[in-house]
Amino acid sequence: MYPKNTWYVAATPDEIAAKPLGRQICGQKLVIYRPRPGELAALEDFCPHRGAPLSLGEVCDGALVCGYHGLAMGCDGKTVSMPGQRVGAFPTIRRYPAVERHGFIWVWPGEAALADPALIPHLEWAESPDWAYGGGLYHIHCDYRLMIDNLMDLTHETYVHSTSIGQKEIDEAPVSTRIEGQEVICRRYMDGVMAPPFWRANLRAHGLPDDQPVDRWQVCRFSPPSHVMIEVGVALAGHGGYEADPKYKVSSVVVDFITPETDRTMWYFWGMARNFRAQDTQLTAQIREGQGKVFAEDTAILEQQQKSVEAWPGRKLLMLNIDAGGVQARRMIDKMIAAENAAAPAPATAAPGSAAPHTQSPTAAAVASAA
Amino acid sequence: MYPKNTWYVAATPDEIAAKPLGRQICGQKLVIYRPRPGELAALEDFCPHRGAPLSLGEVCDGALVCGYHGLAMGCDGKTVSMPGQRVGAFPTIRRYPAVERHGFIWVWPGEAALADPALIPHLEWAESPDWAYGGGLYHIHCDYRLMIDNLMDLTHETYVHSTSIGQKEIDEAPVSTRIEGQEVICRRYMDGVMAPPFWRANLRAHGLPDDQPVDRWQVCRFSPPSHVMIEVGVALAGHGGYEADPKYKVSSVVVDFITPETDRTMWYFWGMARNFRAQDTQLTAQIREGQGKVFAEDTAILEQQQKSVEAWPGRKLLMLNIDAGGVQARRMIDKMIAAENAAAPAPATAAPGSAAPHTQSPTAAAVASAA
Amino acid sequence: MYPKNTWYVAATPDEIAAKPLGRQICGQKLVIYRPRPGELAALEDFCPHRGAPLSLGEVCDGALVCGYHGLAMGCDGKTVSMPGQRVGAFPTIRRYPAVERHGFIWVWPGEAALADPALIPHLEWAESPDWAYGGGLYHIHCDYRLMIDNLMDLTHETYVHSTSIGQKEIDEAPVSTRIEGQEVICRRYMDGVMAPPFWRANLRAHGLPDDQPVDRWQVCRFSPPSHVMIEVGVALAGHGGYEADPKYKVSSVVVDFITPETDRTMWYFWGMARNFRAQDTQLTAQIREGQGKVFAEDTAILEQQQKSVEAWPGRKLLMLNIDAGGVQARRMIDKMIAAENAAAPAPATAAPGSAAPHTQSPTAAAVASAA
């Protein structure tokens, strides 16, 4: 239940620096590696000789040499050579379009002919020297859409992250959910509130007082298939809030790339980009550590939620106003999948790891509810 | 394969003292908690908002507040409130009858209308100040009926517990099995034997000599669905045995509440009640520790037996005279289940965790056998 | 997918020295034990009383006494006695032919009437005082045939064992594969090469120079169902290689007994026999330790290969000239299985552990390939 004709973040460059990486994306097992410094390739992780994972091998002279019997695979999926063999008739393995951009490795798990690198989103914070970025990767046992729901309804911060970024006013402030072009955007503004611990620390780091009321904002932007960028920040109250002059505010972008591994597991590339003290690598490390702890709280609850929705298959879930972001995001996803299915006349054979008979996607029941 | 219209021990009070408890009983996932001090509630462990387990939440002002987005659930299964929402149309979740009595939390997993607290067995040892009780809880990977078999045929003590309570004379003394009212009772008397280590220690603790012959008895009482109370003791030989004056004997009641979790896993609430030196809490702790070790020996063999009967599906087991207690207990259980099925016209939908395709209940073949 | 009417190595004597051993062979759970010193028996690991594994019991006066309720089982599968019971009508459990020979316990998992001990292969190295043997046992999560493939194509040494026995010349030297009687034999000769680390150490241990060219050989002998004996060695170049006088060479036999546990797991009895310095037990231990490390490298890649061929069911594997040994061995195995199936009119009921729905045996596609 995921689109395939799209770019997913599959890895970060450090993961392929020393050796090839075996990783499953959208039910497909891939090996991602650097044929030569600065180059990138992604193939089926399957040696056509005897089926060993190519990710156990090593790169040698631009070829990925199988660690079992030495078949040398080219980055086009064709065998280059093998000791003592003529390899011309060897079957070709599947090549996946892969692009390194914005500090991530992007892979297109669907039809290669459709893979246009221009479809990779532009990320200003990843390219501008005015911004710093720190992040990490979590492997989570849940349907990737549960994570989208999580990020598009930040009222959970009050409960899941009560000691860091949660505060009661998140619940009380209404959220506005809109579709703008290819994005679903949820906006929430909390004016004249006291900042929670995470933001008080950031105010101090920014040289601002942490004991005065602030205007706080959260702008969640979902773009298909599963990217969520969240503008978050606080400004000293009365200076314009989200629009305030930089000297009165501290803000950042929470970065979330969510990549399905199977129907019930996912890779979560999380991070934070900021445009203040961008050169302060110690601050970057410190924010990264704090964010890692906060996001581990989500991991715990999402894995329990996954087990729970699997245990009650068919049980309908509510769609409240606060859930509108997730609901709209899922509709976009469903449309992409439907369009892919319509375009593909015959179903492909089952991909490895995709057969998860218990997998249950939560369904939703409309319930009238308003503040 | 368990009755549902009955009271099971689901927890002990200490398990819900600090926070809600998530526990699966008879294939159903429950949250058990105290809405207020001294009160008790049990509900489906499923938040109607987005399906998170309610057991991850906290109690606040009598409501169970979901740890994900703050839905406040009442102990009747109806949502009390949720920040920014009108909750009147929210679906109700299932409430389970729950009663605290005799130092245990009892839950009725079946039809709530039938749950009469008067059906909870009376346990004198739990209420009288003349008695002391100590016990524990084991989670065991086996069909709960294997544990009933175990407790209704104590010849296993000779082999499984050879260093503590086992002795050859258990095998040699005939057992009498009778149905009396709603109980299956197995009685065994061993007169003029030397006490095994566990009882020698208890004789000494009681100020009695441990080097003289004793009359030993075991009276196992099964009552549906899965409670087994075993009167055990020794008296100095020639003073009347089971009927001897208290000054000549030491005795206690082995307490076993056996609660199915799924078809192949169970909760085992074990303990020992005694009416001598009842105020001696150190002795209670010491007995509890010893019993815990002995009963862990059962756990090990039962889990292996479960794997074995699953590996040989359909293989018939023997029903010897020593097995009569377990056989009769299973017949009572089967009758309860049949009566429930007859009363329930349409089968309920599968409960979570109950689908265990490999589960194999041992069948039994009649074999003529007698001492 | 394994023959059953054949002898498999099931255990080594040290494994049954102290107590009965529970072991699964060809999907069947067995208990292997010594009824009396020097005697041997193998039975179904299932007590006919209540199904507990007999391997949890103890041997007493020639009988295997069940550790649960004391049923005493004879080595013919008939109950000898049980406290307080007449056992004449107790069902018999299956007895498996078992023979101790050549330092191993051999078991025949198929039809007992066909089990002729004369069919156990003769192993000169196991009987002659001129030879020493050291080995071990690995439990590996893969189809046993992947291990046969591994041992019949030693080009993998170049890649998997690059730091010990691998060298580029293995790839470059052609292999000859022949069927001779009931054996598949792969021969490879590498003349005038420098020895790899493992052999340099052995040359030194043998008092020979390690810095001169050698003639190296590998002769792999597969015999059904799954035994692979590999003659390996090096001789100082120009002295006749494989045929050289013993004073110029150092050689040994790699011993591999491969026993299916289930369709996707196996027991690997590995070792090395040598006919130089046979009395040097320290050398035996040293070689054993080194071999254990080298063969653990195979374990790692085979378990990954198994996962991979399961993830791509139906994906054809190549059959190159280097794979001919494994291909021919599989053909012999397939013929044995076909003959068994033809001889057995009705299929037996499923044996425990044999039902592995995901199990995938790699299929093979013919590809023209030659050096």
Looking at the domain assignment, is residue B186 inside a domain? yes
Say if the Cβ atoms of B370 and C56 lie within 8 Å. Answer: no
| Average pLDDT rounded to a whole number, residues C27-54 | 97
> Which pLDDT belongs to residue A344?
77
Contact partners for chain A, using 3 or more CB pairs closer than 8 A, are: B, C
Q: Could you give the number of structural domains in chain C?
A: 2
Q: What number of CA atoms fall less than 13 Å from residue C220's CA on the CB side?
A: 27
Q: Mark whether A109 and A61 lie in a shared domain.
A: yes
Q: Which residues does chain C have within 8 Å of residue A66's beta carbon, measured at their own beta carbons?
A: 159
Query: Which residues of chain B have a CB within 8 Å of the CB of C46?
Result: 308, 312, 315
Q: Which residues partner with C227 through β-bridges?
A: C223, C257
C125/C272 Cα distance (integer angstroms): 10
B268 class by beta-carbon count within 10 Å (0-12 exposed, 13-18 middle, 19+ buried) = buried
Give CA torsion, residues C165, C168, C173, C175, to 10 deg.
50
CATH number, residue A41: 2.102.10.10
Q: Would you call C311 and A352 a contact, using CB atoms and an 8 Å cutoff?
A: yes
Inside any domain, residue B359: no
Confidence band of C212 (pLDDT split at 50, 70, 90): very high
Give the pLDDT band (50/70/90) at residue C370. Answer: very low
For residues B89 and B164, membership in a common domain is answered with: no
What's the confidence (pLDDT) of residue A149? 98
Grade residue C359 by pLDDT with cuts at 50, 70 and 90: very low
Mean pLDDT, chain A, whole residue set: 92
Pairs of residues, one from chain B and one from chain C, whose beta carbons lie less than 8 Å apart: 89
Separation CA B320–CA B364 (nearest Å): 10
In a domain, C369, yes or no: no
Distance from CA of B264 to the nearest CA of A (A): 16
CB contact under 8 A, A305 and B48: no
Identify whether A256 is part of a domain. Answer: yes
Tell me the pLDDT band of A367, cut-offs 50, 70 and 90: very low
**Is the residue at B228 inside a domain?**
yes
Q: Determine, for residues C159 and A52 on separate chains, whether the beta-carbon distance falls below 8 Å.
A: no
Question: Mean pLDDT, to the nearest integer, of C319-336?
Answer: 97
The two tokens of residue C314 are 């139906």
Task: Give the closest of C159, C315, C369 to A46, CB-based.
Answer: C315
Of B155, B301, B318, the CB nearest to C67: B301
Chain-chain contact of C304 with A52 (C-beta, under 8 angstroms): yes
Chain B partners of C352 at a C-beta cutoff of 8 Å? 311-312
Q: Which residues contact A267 (CB under 8 A, 6 or more apart)?
A: A9, A10, A23, A25, A137, A138, A139, A140, A258, A259, A261
CB-based contact A51 C305, cutoff 8 Å: yes
> In this structure, are residues A164 and A198 in contact, taking their beta carbons and an 8 Å threshold?
yes
Same domain, A214 and A293: yes
Beta bridge partners of B272: B134, B254
**Is A333 within the bounds of a domain?**
no
Contacts of A300 (CB under 8 A, 6+ apart): none
Q: Which residues of A touch B (CB under 8 A)?
A: 149, 153, 155-156, 158-160, 171-172, 174, 301, 304-305, 307-309, 311-312, 314-318, 320-323, 362, 365, 367-371
In terms of residues, how long is chain B? 371
Measure in Å the smallest separation between the Cα of A37 and chain C Cα atoms.
23
Taking only the tens place, the pLDDT of each residue in A91-112 is: 999 999 999 999 999 999 999 9
CA of B168 to nearest chain A CA: how many angstroms apart? 48
Confidence of residue A206 (pLDDT cuts 50, 70, 90): confident
Q: Is there a single domain that holds both residue C278 and residue C182?
A: yes
Q: What is the dihedral of CA C18, B308, A310, A166, to 10 degrees?
A: -30
Q: Are residues B180 and B306 located together in one domain of the fold?
A: yes
Q: Name the interface residues of C facing A (CB cutoff 8 Å).
A: 149, 153, 155-156, 158-160, 171-172, 174, 301, 304-305, 307-309, 311-312, 314-318, 320-323, 362, 365, 367-371
Domain limits at C265?
124-322
- Cβ distance C179 to C328 under 8 Å? yes
Q: Do C70 and B171 touch (CB under 8 A)?
A: yes
Measured distance CA(B206)–CA(B247) in Å, rounded: 9
Neighbours of C354 (CB within 10 A): 18
- Residue ending a domain, among C119, C138, C160, is C119
Could you give the CA distance from residue C343 to residue C350 in angstroms, rounded to a whole number?
18
Rounded Cα distance between C115 and C117, Å, is: 6
Residues of B whose CB is below 8 A from C51: 305, 308-309, 312, 315, 317, 362
Pairwise CB contact (< 8 Å): B69 & A159? yes
pLDDT tens column, A115-158? 999 999 999 999 999 999 999 999 999 999 999 999 999 999 99
Q: Answer for the pair C206, C245: CB distance below 8 angstroms, yes or no.
A: no
Of B304, B315, B368, the CB nearest to C52: B304
Residue C3 in domain: no
Domain match, A301 and A199 both: yes
* The predicted structure's pLDDT at residue A69: 97
Which among B50, B84, B89 has CB closest to A368?
Answer: B89
* A68 & A99 share domain: yes
Contact between chains at C367 and A89 (C-beta distance less than 8 A): yes
DSSP C61-74: TTEEE-TTT--EE-
Which residue in this structure is represented by tokens 């900042």?
Answer: A195
Domain boundary among C301, C322, C343: C322
Min distance B327 CA to chain C CA atoms (Å): 12
- Cis amide prior to C37 (ω within 30 degrees): no
Q: Tell me the Ramachandran region of residue A190: left when phi exceeds 0, alpha when psi lies from -120 to 50, beta otherwise.
A: beta
- The distance of A287 to chain B (nearest Cα, Å) reads 24
Report the C-alpha gap between B125 and C207 in whole angstroms: 81
Phi, psi of C212 (to 5 degrees): -120, 155
Whether residue C371 lies inside any domain: the answer is no
**pLDDT tier at A366 (50, 70, 90 boundaries)?**
very low
| Domain match, C212 and C266 both | yes
pLDDT in tens, chain B (371 residues): 999 999 999 999 999 999 999 999 999 999 999 999 999 999 999 999 999 999 999 999 999 999 999 999 999 999 999 999 999 999 999 999 999 999 999 999 999 999 999 999 999 999 999 999 999 999 999 999 999 999 999 999 999 999 999 999 999 999 999 999 999 999 999 999 999 999 999 999 889 999 999 999 999 999 999 999 999 999 999 999 999 999 999 999 999 999 999 999 999 999 999 988 899 999 999 999 999 999 999 999 999 999 999 999 989 999 999 999 999 999 999 999 999 999 876 554 444 444 333 323 333 333 333 33
Q: State which amino acid sits at residue C311.
A: A
Looking at the structure, do residues A167 and A313 belong to the same domain, yes or no?
yes
Read off the pLDDT band of A352 (50, 70, 90): very low
Coil/strand/helix, residue A24? strand
Q: Quote the minimal CA–CA distance from C49 to chain B in Å.
A: 5
Task: Take residue C234 and report the two structure tokens written for it.
Answer: 């090096």
Task: Work out the minimum CA distance from A127 to partner chain B, whole angstroms.
Answer: 35
Domain match, A108 and A168 both: no
* C-interface mutation test, from A29, A50, A65, most C Cβ less than 10 A away: A50
Question: Are residues C283 and C139 both part of a single domain?
Answer: yes
Among B99, B119, B139, the domain boundary falls at B119
Do C84 and B321 make contact, defined as CB atoms within 8 angstroms? Answer: yes
Structure tokens at C68: 């649960």
- What residues of chain C lie within 8 A of the CB of A48, using their CB? 317-318
Residue A86: is its pLDDT beyond 50? yes
Give the model's pLDDT for residue A267.
98
Q: Quick check: B68 and A172 CB within 8 A?
A: no
E strands, A199-304, where?
Answer: 214-223, 227-236, 249-262, 265-274
Q: Do B86 and A317 touch (CB under 8 A)?
A: no
Instruction: Report the interhelical angle of B197-205 vs B281-311 (nearest 10°).
Output: 160
Looking at the complex, report in whole angstroms how far the Cα of residue B71 sits from the nearest Cα belonging to chain A: 10
CA count, 13 A, side-chain hemisphere, B39: 14
Tell whether C112 and C178 lie within a shared domain.
no
Residue B92 burial by Cβ neighbours in a 10 Å radius (0-12, 13-18, 19+): middle
Under the banding of pLDDT at 50, 70 and 90, the label for residue C160 is: very high
CATH number at residue B232: 3.90.380.10
Q: What are phi and psi of C340, to 5 degrees?
A: -65, -45
Interface A-B, measured as beta-carbon pairs within 8 A, has a size of: 88
How far apart CA A153 and CA B18 sit, in angstroms, is 29
A67/C160 Cβ within 8 A: yes
